[in-house]
């Protein structure tokens, strides 16, 4: 192995985590443990209607009959579900009505994370792209920006705990309709104990005028975060939604089990982008978030489209398969993913594309980069049902290995029952070739720039799918891993 890749592997292993600080704030924390009374506690805290409490209890009693899945290529000590606390919220005398009333400590935290919670005025002549943010801190949403402006378009963008009160019909109709209560171990756990998350409803024919975004922050110690996001795009609506997440550096592992449900009706379009940067643990594999997430979108309407883009750089364990159920004729599902793992991180991630409607199309592009002692697995399912005449799928999975102690794996499942469907899958595994590095260096780049260029090029097909603001952040994230690797 060359000195370049050696140095790069060393650098990746030593990459610092910038978001590892702790905010010193008084919190309301539920005592550790998970029983029915925990669920009553959460439900009471949120002032929930009875139907939701019943729904949670039903999930909980089912969860107790379930076993944790073990098919993923992940190794971690057994999780003690009774040891963590299932609710933590910063203490606030009254719920703040405007941004000015939000605890300055919280505002400072988000400023430090680079998330603007101020609504910027549009300057004359400057067409700046704006992002509406819902900021979730541990178990509660602390602020949501641009609500007024969005309301004028009929768009609902608010914490899901608020939507339960203000839009109960919509929530009741769609909650659990894509990911059923009994879906899987982690989704069922989430259904029982979810605390907050975002709710989005885009009415018929409306194109959302700005990016919507939720920023999840775990702060409290020894807690799990269980957020629930529900996005509905009515006929002809379109929306682009971004999700970001970080957590402090801690030696203990913290559990994060989220559920995201998307519903796209006729001609609707949902673009969901994630930059997942939970604390990955230190260089010896100590600490880090266990990230077990169920994300699924239903293309219910004709010609609807759901597109998932994810950049996974954080978490000690990632177990995540954003999926599309392509029910409507001519509906489209997309999955673009970059997973970067280093040190002792493990990622088992991929997607499921279920083709049900006629002429449904799906594209999967997954890029995995492994460094240090990390293990990265792509696991994906493409299923063509007998009804999906004229369906089309194209899958491409590429893995890049940096160093000789990591692993990269590909486990696709391809099932077809329709002759008039075409399914294509290809996967490759390689390392950055000395020839490529040499070529770039010969053109005047130093070794480190050359490596950054090649790795960014490797991820390009995915990064270019991200909204602009995120693309810059993601490129930097990829870049950071390469800084100072040579010289």
Partner 1 sequence: MTLAAAIERSKRNREDWKYTDLPALLARRAQNAPMPITALPATANDDARLVFVNGIFHPAQSRFGSIPSCILMGDERSGYKLTLGEHTCLVAQPVELVFTTDESATDEIDINLSIDIGANGRLTLLERHLPSRAFSTIDINVTLHESAKFVHGKMTSGGAHIARTNVNVARGGYYSHFGLTRGGLPMRHDIDVHLMDEQAQAALHGVMLLRGGDHADITTRIAHNAPHGVSRQMFKTVLGDKSRGVFQGKIYVAPHAQKTDGHQISRALLLSDSAEMDAKPELEIYADDVKCSHGSTIGDLDADALFYLRARGLSETQARALLIDAFTGEVIDDIPVPAWRDLFRADMEGWQS
- Do residues 477 and 313 lie in contact, with contact meaning Cβ atoms separated by under 8 Å? yes
How many residues bind partner 1 (CB under 8 A)? The answer is: 37
Residue 141 DSSP class: E
List % helix, strand, coil for the chain (3-state, nearest 5).
25, 35, 40
Q: CA 348, CA 74: separation in Å to the nearest integer?
A: 7
Q: CA-CA distance, 434 to 432, in Å (whole number)?
A: 7
* Positive/negative CA dihedral, 168, 328, 463, 290: positive
The residue within the footprint of partner 1, chosen from 26, 105, 404, 483 (CB under 8 A), is 404
Burial of 173 (0-12, 13-18, 19+ CB in 10 A): exposed
When asked if residue 99 is in the footprint of partner 1 (CB under 8 A), the reply is: no
Neighbours of 353 (CB within 10 A): 25
Q: Are strands 27-29 and 88-90 parallel, antiparallel or unpaired?
A: antiparallel
421 binds partner 1 (CB under 8 A): yes
CA distance 268 to 219: 36
> Does 415 engage in binding with partner 1 (CB under 8 A)?
yes
Specify the residue, 171 or 397, whose C-beta has the smaller distance to partner 1: 397
Task: Measure the CA–CA gap between 436 and 180, rounded to whole angstroms.
Answer: 48
- Candidate list 307, 410, 481, 485; residue touching partner 1; CB under 8 A: 410
d(CA 177, CA 262): 9
Choice from 102, 113, 402, 450 touching partner 1 (CB under 8 A): 402
422: contact with partner 1 by CB under 8 A: yes
Residue with tokens 């550096």: 249
- Quick check: 10 binds partner 1 (CB under 8 A)? no
Among the listed residues 92, 238, 416, 441, the single contact to partner 1 using CB under 8 A: 416
CB of 438 to partner 1, least distance (A): 16
Of 245, 257, 270, 427, the residue at the interface with partner 1 (CB under 8 A) is 427
> Would you say how long the chain is, in residues?
487
Which residue, chain included where needed, has tokens 């490759």? 428
Among 21, 221, 409, 449, binds partner 1 (CB under 8 A): 409
Among 430, 446, 460, 483, binds partner 1 (CB under 8 A): 430
The residue assigned the tokens 């493990």 is 346
Per-residue x/- track, 253-272, partner 1 (CB under 8 A): --------------------
**Mask 55-84, x = binds partner 1 (CB under 8 A)?**
----------------x-------------
Smallest gap from residue 399 Cβ to partner 1 (A): 7
Spatial contact of 486 and 452, defined as CB atoms under 8 Å apart: no
In angstroms, the first-to-last Cα distance of the chain is: 17
Least distance between partner 1 and beta carbon 4 (Å): 13
Using the contact rule CB under 8 A, the part of the chain among 24-32, 294-302, 331-339, 407-415 near partner 1 is 407-415
Report 368-387 residues binding partner 1 (CB under 8 A).
Answer: 384, 386
Q: How far is the CB of 412 from partner 1 (least distance, A)?
A: 6
CB of 477 to partner 1, least distance (A): 22
Which span sits near partner 1 by CB under 8 A: 234-242, 312-320, 331-339, 396-404?
Answer: 396-404
Interacting residue ranges for partner 1, rule: CB under 8 A: 1, 5, 71, 384, 386, 399, 401-431
């Amino acid at each position: 192995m060359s000195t370049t890749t050696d140095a790069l592997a060393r650098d990746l292993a030593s990459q610092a985590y910038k978001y590892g600080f702790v905010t010193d704030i008084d919190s309301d924390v539920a005592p550790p443990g998970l029983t029915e009374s925990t669920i009553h506690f959460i439900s009471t805290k949120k002032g929930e209607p009875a139907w939701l409490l019943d729904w949670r209890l039903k999930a909980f009693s089912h969860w107790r009959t379930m076993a944790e899945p073990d098919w993923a290529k992940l190794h971690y000590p057994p999780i003690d579900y009774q040891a963590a606390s299932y609710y933590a919220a910063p203490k606030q005398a009254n719920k703040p009505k405007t941004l000015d009333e939000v605890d300055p400590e919280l505002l400072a935290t988000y400023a430090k994370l680079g998330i603007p919670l101020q609504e910027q005025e549009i300057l004359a002549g400057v067409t700046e792209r704006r992002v509406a943010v819902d900021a979730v801190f541990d178990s509660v949403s602390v602020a949501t920006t641009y609500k007024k402006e969005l309301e004028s378009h009929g768009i609902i963008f608010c914490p899901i705990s608020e939507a339960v009160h203000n839009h109960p019909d919509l929530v009741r109709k769609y909650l659990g309709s894509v990911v059923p209560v009994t879906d899987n171990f982690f989704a069922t756990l989430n259904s029982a104990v979810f605390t907050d998350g975002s709710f989005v409803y885009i009415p018929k024919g409306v194109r959302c005028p700005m990016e919507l975004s939720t920023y999840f922050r775990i702060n409290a110690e020894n807690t799990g975060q269980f957020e629930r996001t529900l996005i509905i795009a009515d006929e002809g609506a379109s929306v682009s939604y971004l999700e970001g997440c970080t957590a402090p550096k801690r030696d203990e592992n913290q559990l994060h089990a989220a559920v995201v449900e998307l519903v796209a009706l006729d001609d609707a379009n949902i673009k969901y982008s994630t930059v997942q940067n939970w604390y990955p643990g230190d260089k010896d594999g100590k600490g880090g978030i266990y990230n077990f997430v169920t994300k699924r979108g239903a293309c219910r309407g004709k010609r609807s489209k759901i597109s998932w883009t994810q950049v996974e750089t954080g978490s000690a364990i990632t177990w995540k398969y954003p999926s599309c159920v392509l029910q409507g004729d001519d509906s489209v599902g997309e999955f673009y993913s970059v997973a970067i793992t280093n040190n002792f991180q493990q990622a088992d991630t991929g997607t499921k594309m279920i083709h049900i409607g006629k002429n449904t199309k799906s594209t999967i592009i997954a890029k995995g980069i492994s460094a240090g002692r990390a293990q990265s697995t792509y696991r994906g399912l493409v299923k063509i049902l007998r009804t999906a005449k004229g369906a089309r799928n194209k899958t491409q999975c590429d893995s890049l290995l940096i160093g000789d102690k990591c692993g990269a794996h590909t486990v696709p499942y391809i099932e077809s029952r329709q002759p008039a469907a075409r399914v294509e899958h290809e996967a490759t595994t390689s390392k950055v070739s000395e020839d490529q590095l040499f070529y770039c260096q010969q053109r005047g780049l130093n070794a480190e720039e050359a490596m950054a260029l090649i790795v960014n090029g490797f991820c390009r097909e995915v990064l270019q799918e991200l909204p602009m603001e995120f693309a810059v952040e993601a490129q930097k994230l990829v870049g950071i891993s390469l800084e100072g690797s040579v010289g």
